[in-house]
Structure 1
């Protein structure tokens, strides 16, 4: 294991660490919701709101992740399932989305709770996935969730074009074998489309997937509550 983690970027404390900045972002999210609900395109709306509140690039990124239109919020709420509905289910998990969010959370990076109740961060995979100090702990948290809720099977879906996706899939499956978990791993060229079109229950916080999938579960929100994770997410509501 190396010394990498997914903690804060230099400058994040300035952008997100004060009440003044958070109040500004909350107002910006309200404006975004208003514009998106009136069918303004997301890019145009975020530029307009970003200029209005003089937001920096990473603040606009957080704003876009936290915002949604009224119809999107209604649709997502309708399709969200509770823990009682998970027993004996097969669940498809958006591998990099979940892993990176948990790694960020465990590295004390800033997390943002959006209007839909989902948590999002500001990291991402840029062509290559690199395992970090928090990767194993992140996998252990998913395992605890699986066992507590008596889930039938968990299928981890990873982006095939991302470098090291095969390696992380192997690590996940080896962990599952050691702990006698019914897990599978699958590499997809277009995992977002695959998850959105699946008839199975989905775990992701990717907005596009949530808008198009059949049903979904908010795993990160669940883990923060259930496992009492030491996280202080920024509420954008």
Structure 2
């Protein structure tokens, strides 16, 4: 799977949009939006209100939406989140694109948001088409090494089948798993979120809000890898306040 010289690094405007001068307003915007969400305000209208008040650009509004959550959601996510040692001997299911794109962004210097629920989320998006980047194999290998270290019994990757090149990525993940003798399976499916939520006996690896709000248990593997510097120095914008 060719990656040419592509990276999943920062947007040309990100240094200004997420630099030190912009961070205080973004943190306050996340706090304001979270306050409104906690009190039952509709997300879209609340985001517009907060974005207008703080004069946020479109990409900053997207970051605010990704970083904010209600108190109820934050507490529920924390209750269902497991410690690393809980993966030992358990079946693990991975939200493939969600995890992989975040790690690719971390490895290539893209902006990462430390969100209110403790997740690290990137500012990239697949939008129906995925292209491997220089960092793709490294990201997959980091996942494999860490899950082997944690002694997960089996690992099942789910990829969005409608996303172009998901089949090629599945082949590459299988090749790397075979090379390292990792007990992995990879499955492109039409709606990974539904399957991940329904997998009640597995520990889910994801930072997608919809998934972790409904999963029985989950583990924050992206933050594990990035905050322990396994991806090298990463550009993290703390919006958790």
Alignment TM-score > 0.5, same fold: yes
Aligned residue number for residue 9 of structure 1: 11
CA distance in 1, matches of 2:40, 2:171: 43
Aligned residue number for residue 235 of structure 1: 238
Q: Deviations over 1:171-197 (max 9, x none)?
A: 000110111000000111111121122
CA distance in 2, matches of 1:47, 1:181: 46
8 Å Cα contact 2:203-2:218 kept in structure 1: yes
CA distance in 2, matches of 1:145, 1:29: 31
Q: Cα offset for 1:91?
A: 0.4
Q: Cα offset for 1:227?
A: 4.2
RMSD: 0.9
Aligned residue number for residue 225 of structure 1: 227
8 Å Cα contact 2:110-2:235 kept in structure 1: no
| Uncovered stretches (5+) of structure 1, i.e. residues with no partner | none
Structure 2 matches for 1:109-148, cutoff 5 A? Answer: 109-148=110-149
Deviates most, 194-203 or 87-96: 194-203
Structure 2 matches for 1:39-58, cutoff 5 A? Answer: 39-58=40-59
8 Å Cα contact 2:105-2:122 kept in structure 1: yes
Structure 2 matches for 1:53-202, cutoff 5 A? Answer: 53-199=54-200, 200-202=202-204
CA distance in 1, matches of 2:228, 2:155: 19
CA distance in 1, matches of 2:228, 2:32: 32
CA distance in 2, matches of 1:16, 1:173: 36
**Residue aligned with 1:210, SS:** helix
8 Å Cα contact 2:106-2:226 kept in structure 1: no
Count residues with an aligned counterpart: 236
| TM-score, length of structure 1 as denominator length | 0.97
CA distance in 1, matches of 2:63, 2:194: 23
CA distance in 2, matches of 1:47, 1:137: 38
Aligned residue number for residue 33 of structure 2: 32
**Residue aligned with 2:49, SS:** helix
> CA distance change for structure 1 residues 23 and 39 in 2, over 3 Å: closer, same or farther?
same
